[in-house]
């Protein structure tokens, strides 16, 4: 297994990975090119959770999906969503205050609301997907991959607002790699689901980038994590509205 892929799994998931000797920080940046593949692996685990839960009912299947989703990611991106919600709620357009709140390890009321809203959105929409005969379960494979492609897209196309993981992932990500992943995922999504959903997935990444550019003028590691969670929710909710 390539070192970059091991690092990508080690960073984005709680799946045990081999310990790498002679680790260099630059490798963490280059590992980001594997993020969509990690997303596909997470999606595969979600599909397996659905199959286990279908023996009971759609709510049990949805709950199993949520538990697997949280367990395999370690709630890493939920933490970013909570930090960003707290910062936006408390900053009052003060950039220094925003960064200070983002760095605070404690979770405030805005962060709690964000976590609850994300979890409820996913639980209800996944239950509907499992129960519905109109939506293919393949969306659960593809949505995590799109969201993690978003992370490298946002880090590549936006300036960092603070030093941290977001800044590190801006290094050494070839633009053509992002295009290749995007085109590949678009084709697979079109074939497995629909053209409209493929467009919706692309739109979710572009909308989050536009929001970060407008509201913050750039990105940070927390913004990338929050984007993964919100784009996953956006794509799930869009399925019920398309």
As to burial, measured by CB atoms within 10 angstroms (0-12 exposed, 13-18 middle, 19+ buried), residue 133 is exposed
Taking the C-alpha atoms of residue 82 and residue 73, their distance in angstroms, rounded to an integer, is 15
Averaged pLDDT of the chain? 88
Q: What six digits make up the tokens of 4?
A: 């970059």
Q: Which of 212, 216, 220 is nearest to 83 (CA)?
A: 220
Residues spanned by the domain of 9: 3-241
Query: What is 90-139 written as a DSSP string?
Result: HHTT-HHHHHHHHH--S--HHHHHHHHHHHHHHHHHHHHHHH-SSS-TTH
The model's confidence at residue 23, banded by pLDDT at 50, 70 and 90, is low
Q: How far from the centroid of its chain's Cα atoms is residue 120's Cα?
A: 16
Within 10 A of 189 (CB to CB), how many other CB atoms are there? Answer: 25
CA-to-CA separations, 90 to 80, 98, 241, in angstroms, rounded: 15, 7, 32
Is 90 exceeded by the pLDDT of residue 6? no
User: Out of 8-17, 82-91, 101-110, 111-120, which region has the weakest mean confidence (pLDDT)?
Assistant: 101-110
- The confidence score (pLDDT) of residue 20 equals 73
Taking a C-beta distance cutoff of 8 angstroms, is the pair 239, 125 a contact?
A: yes
Within 10 A of 119 (CB to CB), how many other CB atoms are there? Answer: 17
Within 10 A of 27 (CB to CB), how many other CB atoms are there? Answer: 15
63-84 pLDDT tens trace: 999 999 999 999 989 999 999 9
- The confidence score (pLDDT) of residue 128 equals 93
Mean pLDDT of 7-25: 82
* Number of compact structural domains in the chain: 1
Taking the C-alpha atoms of residue 182 and residue 186, their distance in angstroms, rounded to an integer, is 6
Q: Which of 170, 144, 177 is nearest to 70 (CA)?
A: 144
């Amino acid at each position: 297994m390539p070192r970059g892929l091991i690092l990508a799994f080690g960073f984005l998931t709680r799946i045990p990975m081999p310990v790498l000797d002679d680790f260099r920080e630059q490798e963490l940046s280059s590992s980001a090119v594997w993020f969509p593949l990690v997303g596909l692996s997470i999606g595969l685990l979600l599909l397996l959770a659905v199959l286990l839960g279908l023996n009971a009912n759609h709510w049990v299947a949805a709950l199993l999906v949520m538990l697997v989703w949280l367990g395999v990611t370690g709630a890493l991106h939920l933490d970013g969503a909570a930090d960003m919600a707290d910062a936006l709620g408390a900053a009052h357009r003060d950039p220094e205050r925003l960064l200070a709140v983002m760095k605070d390890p404690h979770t405030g009321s805005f962060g709690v609301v964000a976590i609850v809203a994300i979890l409820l959105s996913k639980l209800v929409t996944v239950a509907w997907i499992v129960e519905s005969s109109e939506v293919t379960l393949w969306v659960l494979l593809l949505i995590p991959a799109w969201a993690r492609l978003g992370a490298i897209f946002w880090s590549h196309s936006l300036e960092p607002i603070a030093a941290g993981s977001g800044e590190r992932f801006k290094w050494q990500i070839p633009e053509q790699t992002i295009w290749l992943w995007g085109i590949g995922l678009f084709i697979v999504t079109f074939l497995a689901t629909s053209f409209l959903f493929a467009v919706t997935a692309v739109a979710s990444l572009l909308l989050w980038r536009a929001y970060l550019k407008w509201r913050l003028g750039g990105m940070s590691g927390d913004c990338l994590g929050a984007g993964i969670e919100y784009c996953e929710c956006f794509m799930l909710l869009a399925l019920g509205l398309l």
